[in-house]
Amino acid sequence: MGIEEARRIIMEHFAGAARRFGLNELYGYIYGVLFLAKDPLSLGEVAEATGYSLSHVSTALKFMERVGLVVRLKKPGDRKVYYTVPKLLRDWRRATYYSSLLEDVRQTRMNLERALKELEGEDGEEAESIRKAIEFVMRKNALVERILAFLLEHDNEVVLERLLNCLESGGER
């Protein structure tokens, strides 16, 4: 029972992570199946392993490929498409967590810009107060956007190691 329980724990972990990131748990189950697989799996194999229909799994795999959670492969002489996943958890986090956060930050920026545009031509204490609040949030939002973009472009472990070294040295480089 140890191997099956270990598999169940891993599958539930990825399904839970998908839910926490605001994704359908199917993405987590698919990732778990592919994470545990020794070799790339076909669409049919993934559907069978997860218990979901071919159409649900196909739709999920297309999304997962688009955001970098799965890699699509072709084997020479085989017409089937196969899927595998990056084995590093940082790649899972990068594709789901950082990308989702960055999208939220970009949406925030766009909405704040729209709100600021609506205040054009408005005078008075209330308009100025709202304008200052928006500008304050926009500055903070811009910093977060830069940090997330940096994390997406660089190896997380290197970035985090440098950040920790900087923090532990009292902020000096």
pLDDT at 146: 87
Q: What is the pLDDT of residues 3-25, one digit of tens each?
A: 888 888 888 988 998 888 788 99
**Domain 2-84 falls under CATH 1.10.10.10:** yes
Q: Where are the alpha helices (DSSP H) in 37-120?
A: 43-50, 54-66, 89-93, 99-118
Give the chain's length.
173
Residue that wins the pLDDT comparison between 154 and 53: 53
Q: Find the mean pLDDT for residues 32-39.
A: 92
DSSP reduced 3-state for 107? helix
Q: How does the average pLDDT of the chain come out, rounded?
A: 85
pLDDT at 151: 73
Beta bridge pairs of residue 71: 84
Asked if 21 and 99 touch (Cβ cutoff 8 Å), the reply is: no
Q: What is the pLDDT of residues 93-150, one digit of tens each?
A: 666 667 777 788 888 889 999 998 988 998 999 989 999 999 999 999 999 888 877 7
Residue that wins the pLDDT comparison between 110 and 173: 110
Give the Cα separation of 14 and 97 in Å (integer): 13
Residue 27: pLDDT above 90?
yes
Residue ranges covered by each domain of the chain: 2-84, 89-168
pTM, full prediction: 0.59
pLDDT at 157: 72
pLDDT at 90: 62
